[in-house]
Structure formats: C-alpha cells, structure tokens
Amino acid sequence: MTQYWLMKSEPDECSIDDLARLPQQTVPWTGVRNYQARNFMRDAMKVGDGVLFYHSSCAEPGIAGLAEVASGVTVDETQFDPQSPYFDPKASRDKPRWLHVHVKLRRKTRLLSLREMRSRPELASMLLLKPGSRLSITPVTPQEWQAVLALLEP
C-alpha cells in the first residue's frame, strides 16, 4: 500500500529546481542525522511512496513540489567523509549509522506556503504543523495528501 511522506530540504542545498535539473530528476537524500527520520526511511518507506517536497530554513518555507521514493535505503557515504558537514566520527564502515533513500521529482507545484498550510483546517493534523515539530521526515496520511493535492490544483 502506498504511503505518503513530507521531506524537508533546504533550498540552499537542494531546491525543487535543483532537483529538476539533476540526472533522472533524482537526488540521494543524504544527511539525515536523526534516528526517527532514519527509521522511517529504513522501516516504513517503500519505492513509489508519495513525497511532499518541502522547502525549509528559507524566506518562504512551504511545499514546493511532489516527488516519490525512488529507491530503498543505502548507506549514506557522507558519514565517513571528514570533509562533509554530515561527517559522523562515531560511524564506522563496519557499523554504518546513517542511511538514505533516493527521491525522484514528480512535478514542481506552486508554493503552498507554511503560512497557508497553517490557515487550512484540513491540514491541521499534519505533524509538520505541530508545535515544536522539527523532524525532517514525517508521515502524511492519505487524507492529508489528498487535501494538499486539492490545494495545489490550478
């Protein structure tokens, strides 16, 4: 059964337009350094799951496009690279800590801003909107997914 997710990306690092320019319009979702988010990728995500591509830590935070999970988990190589901002000195090749999936663009959408999302009662249940929510990957219910799609219709 298809599931749905919201995944945060900082546009400085990878915006929806960056994603559109990548080969296969697919990005390795490296850099996740939170166990809960990792476990979602490892234990629950399936290829083909729907993804709300969210711009965070920027002037206009919000949903910027639709994407999908394009691979199962693989080892996140950035954890071994001392030059990487995602380097984890406690990770070893024997016991990698961090994993990632690949995410493929479906389509860019209009920006559904965080402000607008907060104003919509039908989205109030979204984990992203809960006070203090910081998780970079959150599950989205089919109802929330449909509600977002409806708001993105032209």
Partner DNA sequence: GCCAACGTTGGC
* Binding-site ranges for DNA (CB under 7 A): 8, 33-36, 56-58, 61, 90, 114-115, 118, 130-136
Q: How far is the CB of 51 from DNA (least distance, A)?
A: 15
Candidates 34, 37, 26, 29; CA nearest to 13 is 29
Q: How far is the CB of 93 from DNA (least distance, A)?
A: 18
Candidates 70, 149, 57; CA nearest to 109 is 149
Nearest CB to DNA, comparing residues 89 and 154: 89
Burial of 148 (0-12, 13-18, 19+ CB in 10 A): buried
Q: How far is the CB of 58 from DNA (least distance, A)?
A: 6
Nearest CB to DNA, comparing residues 67 and 137: 137
| Residues 99/76, Cβ–Cβ less than 8 Å | yes
Nearest CB to DNA, comparing residues 56 and 84: 56
